[in-house]
Amino acid sequence: MAGAADWPWDGQRVALEPVDEAEVLVIVDNSIDVLAAGSDSVRRAPRRWDSFHRPALRAEHGLSLLLTVRRGGHRFQVLYDAGVGHDTASHNLDVLEVRPNELRAMVVSHGHADHHGGLVGLAKRYGSALPLIIHPEAWRERKAVFPDGFETHLPPPQRGDLEAEGVQVVDERGPSLIVDNCVLVTGQVERTTGYEPGFPPQHSHVDGQWVHDPWVWDDQAVVVHVRDKGLLVLSGCGHAGVVNILRYARKLTGVERVYGFVGGMHLTGALFEPIIGPTIEELTGMGIARLVPGHCSGWKAMQELSRRLPEAYVQTSVGTTVVF
């Protein structure tokens, strides 16, 4: 792990300005349920008379979220990740008839392709002159080597293609305040739990050779402080560990209450299911009011979260908007 000398945060609290309201639109996720129940604060994809004659929303093994914040009569948007398909996010926005006209920045959670595959397509539409906040290790060539020996290539984003579309790439290891200091990108997350293992199958191509690189230091979350409620935290895969991420968000901001969470928890598969128990034990003690686990959280973790935190749990589905 990184030592104190090379840690990218100087320990000073981040002055994150509170917002009046935040909305999170699930543009891309692993699943769609067109019959999922909504509520006053959970709006599902609109149903229409001709729904089965129109292009359908797509689900895939990827994640993309559109964060909209409102403060003092102003409205701003941040795109967090872009799914894996080169046009999935763009397609789903078209089907939903959503135009992110107040987009102020884009953020990549980490360098795995299921989170950046659609970036160039979105940049062609919306990204000219926008900043893209990304950890410098996200550009690494990587692969996953599984216990049975099977290997999967994890291609990085293509910086040249993004810059050709006018995107202003911002490489940053530490925390960043964006959108008039209303949105925090955590940068590299401190690892404190001892039981959240990163992503053990990951290897990176460094100095001409493949090296075991399990920690996924580029994994970063997005944080908003909803006035009088607490922190809203968005996670891509949560390779840093969802508990580590929430602890670090509180430490960075000095805000103890975690109001909401949306995104990946990476609790799926044989390597991660053993930590479902301690993870949920910690989450139940945080008093989270709304919990929307998706992408790589896994069905076993979702089932247990819905059982242990029934009032907070919200079923994810492509096209869902959650209001905080």
- Per-residue buried b or exposed e for 232-247, using 16+ beta carbons within 10 Å of the residue's own CB: bbbbbbbbbbbbbbbb
Identify the DSSP state of 81. Answer: -
State the Cα torsion 98-101-104-106 to the nearest 10°.
Answer: 30
**Are the C-beta atoms of 318 and 27 separated by less than 8 Å?**
yes
* Predicted confidence band of residue 7 (pLDDT cuts 50, 70, 90): confident
Q: Mean pLDDT, the chain, as a whole number? A: 96
The dihedral sign for the CA sequence 59, 272, 206, 134? positive
State the Cα torsion 240-57-166-218 to the nearest 10°.
Answer: 10
Lowest mean pLDDT segment, chosen from 10-14, 168-172, 177-181: 10-14
Q: Residue 203: beta bridge partners?
A: 143, 212
**Are the C-beta atoms of 206 and 20 separated by less than 8 Å?**
no
146, two tokens? 């599984």
* Predicted confidence band of residue 50 (pLDDT cuts 50, 70, 90): very high
Tens digit of each residue's pLDDT (9 = 90 or more) over 55-88: 999 999 999 999 999 999 999 999 999 999 999 9
- Domains of the chain from N-terminus onward: 15-323 (3.60.15.10)
pTM, two decimals, is 0.97
Helix or strand (DSSP H, E) at 134? strand 131-134
**Are the C-beta atoms of 221 and 249 separated by less than 8 Å?**
yes
Length of the chain (residues) = 324
Q: How deeply is 97 buried, as exposed, middle or buried, from its count of CB atoms within 10 A (0-12, 13-18, 19+)?
A: exposed
pLDDT for 109: 98
60, two tokens? 């895939």
**Are the C-beta atoms of 194 and 219 separated by less than 8 Å?**
no
Helix or strand (DSSP H, E) at 252? helix 242-253
pLDDT for 128: 80
